[in-house]
Structure 1
Amino acid sequence: MKKLYFNYLETFKGLSTEVWWLSLITLINRAGTMVIPFLSLYLTKSLGFTLQNVGWIMTCFGVGSVLGSWLGGKLTDKIGYYKVMSISLFLTGVLFVALQYVTTLLGFCIGIFLVMLVADTFRPAMFVALSAYSKPENKTRSVTLIRLAINLGFTAGPAVGGLIITSIGYHGLFWVDGITCLMAVVLLMQVLNPKKARVLDEVKVEDPVSVYKDKPFWIFFVAMFIFGFIFLQYFSTMPLYYRDVHHLTELEIGLLFGLNGFFIFLLEMPLIKWLEDTKNSKSYLMLIGLLLTVFSFIVLLISTWAGVLVIGILLMTIGEMIAFPFSNAFVIDRAKKGNQGEYMAFYSIAFSMAHIFGHNSGMQLVDKIGFDNTWSLITAVGFIGVLCLWILTRVVKREKVEA
């Protein structure tokens, strides 16, 4: 047990101090976005909006996320990641506090669009900063550490959010969200000031290649959109499947999803370290990650035994643990010949677009053709993504031979 513990700690060694600070800033920021999990409840219970109204608001949420990611990439390449991160966190804090005073449908659509437009400029800038503060050999593990921070934030946020709602009401969420964003700005200015922080791998390209001309990247983009599309079913249609088909209670559903967070926290860093040592290409490892996620839907079609739900969530968790860090590292490497912000923006946009189409499509499919047929269709779509990553693996291998 002692050896396992020290081996686990070993996987965190070699990461720069700046990456640890960036992870803490991300943790504070993500824990602070506790309004989001309770948004549909707030809109229907406190503001009296219909589910159709909520659908339009979530569409504005997704569109703001897409445009924010694109804008964040553009601004990062023009004014640098530090300024974009600082401005994004500050304005997001102000907008979250202001959003509680908006009560009309049109006003909330505009408000949530602006919040996401500003908030998601942070993502491309943060990934470029992560690349700059990481040694080349540590980039995948640095991404994994950020993911741990995001997962811890998303785990802590809703728990604290529930206590805030119970004690002082929904308006308390907006104040806490705003204040945590402002706290993250103060911490950022203290510990990641460019004049003080060590930049380990800052890339400046004199004649950058446009991301629009990078054909392998667009194969990757399609694969990531497909991965996001099927992965997000676990946060929209899958809870309904657990409740309506397997008759699980909210507590049992929560425990199932708790397995996901627990295994990510416990195993992701050692798994990534082990996979890095295998010397397989990032595109091949992404393929394995997507394939495991697809299998998590296939097992649901094999048996009605409740145990397949646990098998399914474990397959999805392992797939997620592999696909996200290596896809991120793939983009960071790819971006070295172009504008880093632009590359990271389109990586974020792939998942933002999956948010726009994934949730709604899954709901519509379940309503029209039922759960089993929906899982079959999602499996077929997933194999298209696997095919894209297989093609990408061959293209990247050919590039290395020709280089």
Structure 2
Amino acid sequence: MPDVRWARGAMFRGLPRGFWWLWSSTLVNRLGTFVYPFLTLYLTLDRGFSATEAGLVVSCFGLGSVAGSLAGGELSDRLGRRATMAGSYVVTAAVTAALAVTTQVAAIAALTFLFGAGSSAPRPALSAMISDLVRPEDRQRAFSLNYWAVNVGFGLSSVMAGFLVRADFVWIFIGDAVTTLACGLIAWQRLPETRPPTQDAGSAPTAGPAAARGLTLALRDGRLLALTAVAFALWLLFHQGVTTLPVAMEGEGLSARTYGLVISLNGLVVVLLQIPLTRWLRGRRSGPLLTGAALMFGAGFGVTAFAGNAALVYGLGVVIWTVGEMVFAPTSAAAVADMSPLHLRGRYQGVFGFGTAAASFVAPIVGGVVLDRAGAAVLWAGCAAVGLLASCAFVLLRFDGSARRVWGKDDAERSGAAGLTDTVSS
């Protein structure tokens, strides 16, 4: 018991004030994450779309996320972290409100694209800000705490959204828009600007060919691309939980409220276990952690193949893949932060976020088509196979999560000048 109390206290000590404002803005934003988890149900139940049609429309969210992730990384390095986050939240709030009153299919698809772009653009800036604010040895802890806030909010929002849907689907759009706008205001008023100086004071932000070279450097980092590719495969599975899972459960006669309760286990497990799990992960090598996380992803969705109309089995599957998500998300995010040069943190996070965003684009299409044409059992078996292959990829790549190359002299000087020197392990 004393060790548990120490672990809880240590999790919250020693992090800067700016991080806690960032954490608070994340919590507020996720408390209003009503639309995306229920977007497929909205399209199929309220608008009468088939699973394939709904998947195509929801894939526009993923396509927007791809664009938003790369744009957000670029903007966070050029314009600043705070401005990128605040502006993206305001735009997203306006788009969400517009979705509530839009009826034409083409307009819904276009707004869904913008919704995805606006939702993803703040993420590279947020991750870069954590990297700026927090010492290298504390980054995994900081990313775990931020991930904890994401899931505290998501768990509560899923339950609330389930009840809001019973009244009218329009309320999930209104609630999401209001909380997203509040998050934008917090970001603008309270978050510090942490973008490190990379040029002489008073000069204009880097643009044109010079900016493009920054993105090219990130795209030439083989270790970053390897991690991004495997992350893409794992997030393909994760997005089935909010795209095809509700449709499959509805097909078994389970209600939207039941799905809301089942998916809320995702956030509940994180709330209860993230802090002790992070304590257990401390000092462990990333390679085995990432391999085990991939296996948990596959096993969790594989269990769903045996669920039928048993809500408890669906819940068990969510718990299993959530544990994998809890290990993978902060471990991979900290690895990207550690391998990023100081002046390219936003772009590195943007490229890594590309994998998640691309998965959110591909997953609804693939999942919807497989569910319609082959059935739920084949879909969940395929998910299990992807998780197994991803775990094998981590073994073959021998990825340990640490940067192996030594940054150039300019990067070291910039890091030292900013007081934010990165630790690079060999």
TM, length-normalised to structure 2:
0.79
- Conservation of the 8 A alpha-carbon contact between 1:219 and 1:389: no
Does 2:241 align with 1:213?
Answer: no
- What is the CA–CA distance in structure 1 between the aligned matches of 2:257 and 2:270, rounded to whole Å? 20
Paired position in structure 1 for 2:294: 290
Q: Secondary structure at the match of 2:341?
A: helix
Residues 34-72 of structure 1 show CA distances to partners (whole Å, capped at 9, x for unaligned) of 233333444455555565543332122111111111111
Residues 315-359 of structure 1 show CA distances to partners (whole Å, capped at 9, x for unaligned) of 322211111110111111111266111111122121121122223
1:157-176 correspondence to structure 2 within 5 Å: 157-164=157-164, 169-176=168-175
- What is the CA–CA distance in structure 2 between the aligned matches of 1:125 and 1:366, rounded to whole Å? 35
Q: Percent identity, aligned pairs only? A: 28
Paired position in structure 2 for 1:127: 127
Paired position in structure 1 for 2:230: 223
Q: Which moved more, 1:156-165 or 1:102-111?
A: 156-165
Paired position in structure 1 for 2:348: 343
1:224-373 correspondence to structure 2 within 5 Å: 224-238=231-245, 255-276=261-282, 279-297=283-301, 312-336=317-341, 339-373=344-378
C-alpha displacement of 1:365:
3.0
Residues 1:318 and 1:205: Cα distance change in structure 2 (over 3 Å): farther
C-alpha displacement of 1:86:
1.5
| Number of residue pairs the alignment of both structures matches | 394
Paired position in structure 2 for 1:96: 96
Residues 1:48 and 1:291: Cα distance change in structure 2 (over 3 Å): closer
C-alpha displacement of 1:232:
2.8
- Conservation of the 8 A alpha-carbon contact between 1:205 and 1:339: no
Letter in 1 for 2:395: W
Does 2:386 align with 1:386?
Answer: no
C-alpha displacement of 1:311:
5.3
Paired position in structure 1 for 2:412: none
- What is the CA–CA distance in structure 2 between the aligned matches of 1:60 and 1:81, rounded to whole Å? 25
Residues 1:12 and 1:314: Cα distance change in structure 2 (over 3 Å): same
Q: Secondary structure at the match of 1:339?
A: helix
C-alpha displacement of 1:156:
2.4
TM, length-normalised to structure 1:
0.83
Any unmatched runs of 5+ in structure 2?
A: 201-212, 407-424
C-alpha displacement of 1:226:
1.0
- What is the CA–CA distance in structure 2 between the aligned matches of 1:378 and 1:12, rounded to whole Å? 36
Paired position in structure 2 for 1:87: 87
- Conservation of the 8 A alpha-carbon contact between 2:162 and 2:257: no
C-alpha displacement of 1:124:
0.9
Residues 219-273 of structure 1 show CA distances to partners (whole Å, capped at 9, x for unaligned) of 111110111112333334445666767x877666555444432221111122112
Residues 105-154 of structure 1 show CA distances to partners (whole Å, capped at 9, x for unaligned) of 11221122122223321111111111112121111111111112111222
1:3-22 correspondence to structure 2 within 5 Å: 4-5=4-5, 7-22=7-22
- What is the CA–CA distance in structure 2 between the aligned matches of 1:192 and 1:323, rounded to whole Å? 27
Residues 1:89 and 1:371: Cα distance change in structure 2 (over 3 Å): closer
- What is the CA–CA distance in structure 2 between the aligned matches of 1:382 and 1:268, rounded to whole Å? 21
- What is the CA–CA distance in structure 1 between the aligned matches of 2:16 and 2:342, rounded to whole Å? 24
- Conservation of the 8 A alpha-carbon contact between 2:305 and 2:377: yes
- Conservation of the 8 A alpha-carbon contact between 2:65 and 2:120: yes
Any unmatched runs of 5+ in structure 1?
A: none
- What is the CA–CA distance in structure 2 between the aligned matches of 1:256 and 1:172, rounded to whole Å? 21
- What is the CA–CA distance in structure 2 between the aligned matches of 1:23 and 1:185, rounded to whole Å? 13
Q: Secondary structure at the match of 2:12?
A: coil
Paired position in structure 1 for 2:75: 75
- Conservation of the 8 A alpha-carbon contact between 2:38 and 2:242: no
- What is the CA–CA distance in structure 1 between the aligned matches of 2:388 and 2:111, rounded to whole Å? 38
- Conservation of the 8 A alpha-carbon contact between 2:65 and 2:117: yes
Paired position in structure 2 for 1:178: 177
Paired position in structure 2 for 1:57: 57
- What is the CA–CA distance in structure 2 between the aligned matches of 1:171 and 1:365, rounded to whole Å? 29
- Conservation of the 8 A alpha-carbon contact between 1:44 and 1:50: yes
